[in-house]
């Protein structure tokens, strides 16, 4: 038997006689590299409110600590400190592995969710088209067609309004109220207050009646939108 082995036996006998609990015994063995991924390390370590590990036997400080375990042996204290540091690193690595694994799972779930959602959206869009044609053929005058399973709602789309902002800014800069129309940049909300829509979709200066070239309203290329609602929607 080597001196190191005898020293370990003596050390273990001493801490057992002092009433060491399982956690402390396992820690002492692990500190001496006697446990090589054996799977015997306790999975639950009791700790006090400060996160300090506790054992079943009393220590001068009232909680598990390297000084009380190693006594005055600086080398043993250093070995235990190295053990504690390695265990901390293992815990950090385990946390990182959990986060990485969780992120990978979340990414897979999101990819599946997007794929499945788009598949069912395409099915829903197809049935909207079927019901749109049904409403056109059998209830063309109705905005809302009620069915037992739901209702078909047709909403007219607003016209499209286009603005040439470069020409609009040039027009605003030539006016006396330029500070309101373009204080730092073009304020379209203020511009709209100065204009009046004409029957043909053009816009004219509300004061002079002069048609401005930079703004016009045209028919929406999508004349209406159909939605299908269920229940209390």
pLDDT in tens, 42-54: 344 566 666 655 5
Stated pTM of the model: 0.50
Hey, what are 188's tokens? Answer: 């379209």
Asked if residue 11 is part of any domain, the answer here is yes
**Domains held by the chain: number:** 2
For the chain, how big is the Rg over CA atoms in Å?
Answer: 39
| pLDDT (0 to 100) of residue 141 | 94
Its domain, for residue 79, covers: 3-95
Q: Could you report the per-residue pLDDT of 177-228, keeping only the tens digit for each? A: 889 888 888 899 999 999 999 999 999 999 999 999 999 999 999 999 999 9
Q: Indicate whether 147 and 233 sit together in one domain.
A: yes
| pLDDT (0 to 100) of residue 102 | 87
Asked if residue 106 is part of any domain, the answer here is no
Q: Are 212 and 164 in contact (CB under 8 A)?
A: no
Query: What's the CA gap between 224 and 144, in Å, rounded?
Result: 13
Mean pLDDT, to the nearest integer, of 24-51?
52
Asked if residue 23 is part of any domain, the answer here is yes
Q: Could you report the per-residue pLDDT of 106-150, keeping only the tens digit for each? A: 888 899 999 999 999 999 999 999 999 999 999 999 999 999 999
Asked if residue 107 is part of any domain, the answer here is no
Residue with tokens 């229940």: 231
Asked if residue 100 is part of any domain, the answer here is no
Domain C-terminal end among 69, 95, 121:
95
């Amino acid at each position: 038997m080597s001196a190191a082995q005898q020293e370990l036996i003596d050390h273990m006998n001493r801490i057992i006689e002092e009433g060491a609990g399982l956690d402390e015994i396992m820690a002492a063995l692990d500190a001496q590299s006697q446990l090589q991924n054996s799977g015997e390390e306790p999975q639950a370590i009791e700790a006090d409110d400060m996160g300090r590990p506790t054992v079943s036997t009393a220590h001068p400080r009232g909680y598990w600590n390297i000084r009380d375990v190693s006594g005055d042996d600086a080398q043993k204290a250093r070995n235990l400190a190295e053990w504690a540091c390695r265990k901390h690193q293992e815990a950090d690595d385990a946390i990182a592995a959990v986060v990485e694994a969780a992120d990978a799972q979340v990414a897979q779930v999101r990819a599946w969710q997007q794929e499945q959602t788009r598949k069912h959206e395409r099915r829903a869009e197809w049935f909207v088209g079927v019901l749109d044609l049904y409403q056109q053929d059998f209830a063309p005058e109705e905005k809302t067609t009620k069915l037992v399973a739901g209702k078909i709602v047709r909403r007219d789309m607003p016209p499209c309004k286009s603005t040439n902002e470069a020409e609009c800014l040039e027009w605003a800069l030539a006016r006396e109220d330029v500070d309101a129309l373009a204080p730092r940049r073009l304020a379209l909300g203020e511009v709209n207050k100065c204009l009046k829509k004409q029957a043909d979709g053009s816009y004219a200066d509300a004061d002079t009646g002069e048609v401005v070239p930079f703004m016009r309203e045209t028919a929406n290329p999508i004349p209406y939108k159909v939605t299908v609602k269920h229940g209390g929607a």
